């Protein structure tokens, strides 16, 4: 996954660079895409039908399941979370001269989706207890050009949506939730992805539910939805035509092609059918780490991921924060020597090459830099066995900071 880095990963085995060491067959990888029971049968159904392009029966079924999970009034499947954010930028008409406030600690999509349309990214610092955007830092960065605030719920733990909601309403700004980690998560009982102007989901194969590559846009507003379905379908009113609301479809607005094929939707629908059991399995791993690493962490000055009580997280990831960058890097090497892959991310956006070119940070994002320098993520996927978990737990608790 781009944006991730593993300090000690062996180079890939290709002719130009032989492997440094034999890859162990019992290596515990960091993330493994889930396989849902019905996905092969669903794909076969699509291939045997006359409908492989987008917006067929599996798209409808997957969309309905997402609406049920999130309670969002409107859901549109897209080709990726990045594309859902780009669609959002077109919908909100964010472009040259506009400023979008983006957390420094986030995946590139949260910035490039707006930069690609000419908007300026204004990077702000995070709250280190969650890794999420700090509302006070966002407030301090607002200017007369600010049009939107992007929130990324890191690890599916909600940002401080009370403060951010007040801020957005008070200044007439759009609130955009990059909810790639947060499907099924809640803030004070309300679903993540439905708390702002629009929310986006990712179904990349590193996410809890996937279809290889895919995404979704969540909307509440009927007028935005009317325009979003046109932008998504090459600027046409084909969606209305398919519903029998117009007798032909034609070019209505700017747009692009953001709808996934039925092949992707077929896999996604099979995965969403197992959403509850996928989540149970991930939470089992998460709670094992949280419970069984607590005393070691306390003794070593390591801070494990925590979740404020008014939020339900999604067990998308489990992280530890080591006391320093040096101990973090030593910890990753210690795990790698035991054939356990534990990566870190993200390179803070404000200090990355494109961040410097397409954005600015009014104040240095020092907490984001420290967070990125000390974080490490442990392997987490639904089928991790008790034996594999025990190996990770033993390796982690043998480490001394
Ligand atoms: C994975 C991810 C994305 C990008 O999702 P795609 O579907 O690959 O475009 C965006 N934001 C966050 C926080 C992510 O983890």
pLDDT tens digit sequence for 118-154:
999 999 999 999 999 999 999 999 999 999 999 999 9
Per-residue pLDDT averaged across 359-377, rounded?
Answer: 98
Per the annotation, the verdict on 207 as an active-site residue is yes
Kindly give the distance from the C-alpha atom of residue 120 to the centroid of ligand 1, in angstroms, as a whole number.
Answer: 20
Residue nearest to atom 5 of ligand 1 (CA): 81
* Cβ atoms of residues 202 and 85 within 8 Å: no
> Hey, where are the domains in the chain?
39-273, 275-347+362-398
Q: What is the pLDDT of residue 25?
A: 84
Kindly give the distance from the C-alpha atom of residue 16 to the centroid of ligand 1, in angstroms, as a whole number.
Answer: 31
Work out the angle between the directed axes of helices 262-273 and 275-300 (0-180°, nearest 10): 70
pLDDT tens digit sequence for 255-277:
999 999 999 999 999 999 999 99
Residue 200: closest CA among 90, 82, 97, 310? 82
Kindly give the distance from the C-alpha atom of residue 200 to the centroid of ligand 1, in angstroms, as a whole number.
Answer: 9
Q: Tell me if the bond preceding 110 is cis, omega within 30° of 0.
A: no
Q: Is 178 in the pocket of ligand 1 (CB under 6 A)?
A: yes
Whether residue 88 is predicted with pLDDT greater than 60 in this model: the reply is yes
Higher pLDDT, 22 or 66: 66
Q: Is 152 in the pocket of ligand 1 (CB under 6 A)?
A: yes
> Residue 198 and residue 178: Cα distance in Å, rounded?
9
Q: Is 191 in the pocket of ligand 1 (CB under 6 A)?
A: no
Per-residue pLDDT averaged across 333-356, rounded?
Answer: 96
Query: The dihedral of CA 382, 388, 394, 396: what is its sign?
Result: negative
Q: Is 107 in the pocket of ligand 1 (CB under 6 A)?
A: yes
Q: What is the pLDDT of residue 21?
A: 55
Atom of ligand 1 nearest to the CA of 215: 7
Per-residue pLDDT averaged across 336-340, rounded?
Answer: 97
Q: What is the pLDDT of residue 243?
A: 93
Whether residue 5 is predicted with pLDDT greater than 80 in this model: the reply is no
- The pTM (predicted TM-score) of the whole model is 0.94
> Residue 84 and residue 90: Cα distance in Å, rounded?
10
What is the average pLDDT value for the chain, to the nearest integer?
94
Residue 62: closest CA among 23, 36, 98? 36
Q: What is the pLDDT of residue 18?
A: 42
Q: Is 82 in the pocket of ligand 1 (CB under 6 A)?
A: yes
The number of beta carbons lying within 10 Å of the beta carbon of residue 302 is 22
Domain 39-273 CATH assignment equals 3.40.640.10: yes
* Cβ atoms of residues 343 and 106 within 8 Å: no
Kindly give the distance from the C-alpha atom of residue 268 to the centroid of ligand 1, in angstroms, as a whole number.
Answer: 16
DSSP-derived secondary structure for 39-91? HHHHHHHHHTSS--SSSSHHHHHHHHHHHHHH--SEEEEES-HHHHHHHHHHH
Kindly give the distance from the C-alpha atom of residue 80 to the centroid of ligand 1, in angstroms, as a whole number.
Answer: 8
Site to substitute for ligand 1 among 78, 82, 114, most atoms within 8 A of C-beta: 82
Per-residue pLDDT averaged across 232-248, rounded?
Answer: 96
- 3-state secondary structure (DSSP) of residue 311: strand
Per-residue pLDDT averaged across 208-232, rounded?
Answer: 98
Per-residue pLDDT averaged across 303-309, rounded?
Answer: 97
Residue 381: closest CA among 279, 308, 309, 296? 279
Q: What is the pLDDT of residue 24?
A: 76
Residue 382: closest CA among 336, 314, 304, 332? 314
Q: What is the CATH number that goes with domain 275-347+362-398? A: 3.90.1150.10
Catalytic hit among 65, 207, 234, 248: 207
Residue 100: closest CA among 159, 174, 153, 197? 174
Please check whether the two domains, 39-273 and 275-347+362-398, share a CATH topology. Answer: no
Residue 180: closest CA among 151, 147, 219, 138? 151
């Amino acid at each position: 996954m781009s944006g991730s880095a593993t300090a000690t990963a062996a180079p890939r085995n290709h002719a130009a660079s032989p492997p440094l060491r034999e890859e162990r067959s019992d290596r515990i990888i960091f993330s493994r895409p889930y396989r849902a029971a019905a996905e092969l049968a669903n794909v076969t159904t699509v291939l045997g039908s006359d409908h492989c392009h987008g917006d067929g029966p599996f798209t409808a079924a997957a969309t309905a399941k997402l609406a049920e999970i999130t309670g969002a009034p409107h859901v549109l499947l897209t080709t990726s979370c990045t594309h859902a954010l780009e669609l959002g930028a077109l919908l909100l008409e964010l472009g040259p001269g506009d400023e979008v406030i983006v957390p420094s600690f986030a995946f590139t999509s949260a910035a490039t989706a707006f930069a690609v349309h000419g908007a300026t990214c204004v990077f702000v610092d995070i709250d280190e207890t969650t890794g999420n955007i700090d509302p006070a830092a966002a407030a301090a960065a607002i200017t007369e050009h600010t049009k939107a605030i992007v929130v990324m719920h890191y690890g599916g733990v909600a940002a401080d949506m009370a403060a951010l909601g007040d801020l957005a309403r008070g200044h007439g700004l759009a609130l955009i939730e990059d909810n790639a980690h947060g499907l099924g998560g809640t803030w004070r009982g309300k679903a993540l992805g439905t708390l702002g102007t629009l929310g986006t989901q990712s179904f990349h194969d590193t996410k809890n539910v996937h279809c290889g590559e895919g995404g979704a846009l969540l909307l509440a507003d009927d007028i935005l939805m009317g325009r979003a379905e046109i932008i998504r379908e090459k600027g046409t009113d084909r969606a209305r035509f398919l519903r029998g609301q117009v007798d032909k479809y034609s070019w209505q607005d700017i747009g692009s092609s953001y709808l996934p094929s039925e092949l992707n939707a077929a896999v996604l629908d099979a995965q969403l059918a197992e959403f509850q059991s996928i989540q149970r399995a991930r939470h089992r791993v998460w709670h094992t780490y949280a419970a069984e690493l607590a005393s070691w962490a306390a003794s070593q000055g390591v801070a494990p991921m925590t979740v404020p009580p008014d939020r339900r997280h999604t067990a998308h990831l489990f992280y530890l924060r080591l006391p320093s960058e040096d101990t973090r890097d030593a910890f990753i090497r210690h795990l790698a020597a035991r054939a356990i892959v534990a990566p870190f991310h993200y390179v803070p956006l404000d200090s990355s090459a494109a961040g410097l070119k397409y954005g600015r940070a009014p104040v240095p994002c020092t907490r984001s830099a420290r967070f990125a320098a000390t974080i490490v993520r442990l392997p987490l996927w639904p089928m991790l066995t008790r034996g594999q978990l025990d190996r990770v737990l033993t390796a982690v608790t043998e480490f001394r900071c």
